[in-house]
Amino acid sequence: DAKTTQPNSMESNEEEPVHLPCNHSTISGTDYIHWYRQLPSQGPEYVIHGLTSNVNNRMASLAIAEDRKSSTLILHRATLRDAAVYYCIRIRGNTPLVFGKGTRLSVIA
């Protein structure tokens, strides 16, 4: 039970921003939200994580709703190399990651 809900698939045009949503309505106060992505034929790679505040790094931005029941991963300019499955994962304490099916992002040139 991944305890998060994501759309099965999304599509974006190259060079445009992409907003990938995730619902985690049963989140508790100390749960972190992590995002990973998996490129074709590769292992998952870490993208970003956050607790309450919005977070930015070189790969993406993470916007967390004020009530923390949802979050959005933002890719500012999608490239063909961003085509992947994106996983939103809720982590409680030191418990291991539980992967759902994620969102398959297609990027159109």
Partner 1 sequence: NAGVTQTPKFRILKIGQSMTLQCTQDMNHNYMYWYRQDPGMGLKLIYYSVGAGITDKGEVPNGYNVSRSTTEDFPLRLELAAPSQTSVYFCASSYEGNNEQFFGPGTRLTVL
Sheet containing strand 18-23, edge to edge, reads 18-23, 70-75, 61-64, 55-56
To the nearest whole angstrom, how small is the minimum distance from the Cβ of residue 44 to partner 1? 5
- Out of 29, 40, 58, 93, which residue is the one contacting partner 1 (CB under 8 A)? 93
To the nearest whole angstrom, how small is the minimum distance from the Cβ of residue 54 to partner 1? 18
3-state helix, strand, coil in the chain (%, to 5): 5, 45, 50
For the chain, what's the residue count?
A: 109
Q: Does residue number 15 form part of the binding site for partner 1 (CB under 8 A)?
A: no
Residue 16 or 45: the one with the smaller Cβ distance to partner 1 is 45
Q: Does residue number 98 form part of the binding site for partner 1 (CB under 8 A)?
A: yes
Residue 30 or 66: the one with the smaller Cβ distance to partner 1 is 30
Q: Does residue number 46 form part of the binding site for partner 1 (CB under 8 A)?
A: yes
- E strands, the chain, are 9-13, 18-23, 32-38, 45-50, 55-56, 61-64, 70-75, 84-91, 103-108
Q: Which residues bind partner 1 (CB under 8 A)?
A: 2, 32, 36, 42-46, 49, 87, 91, 93-102
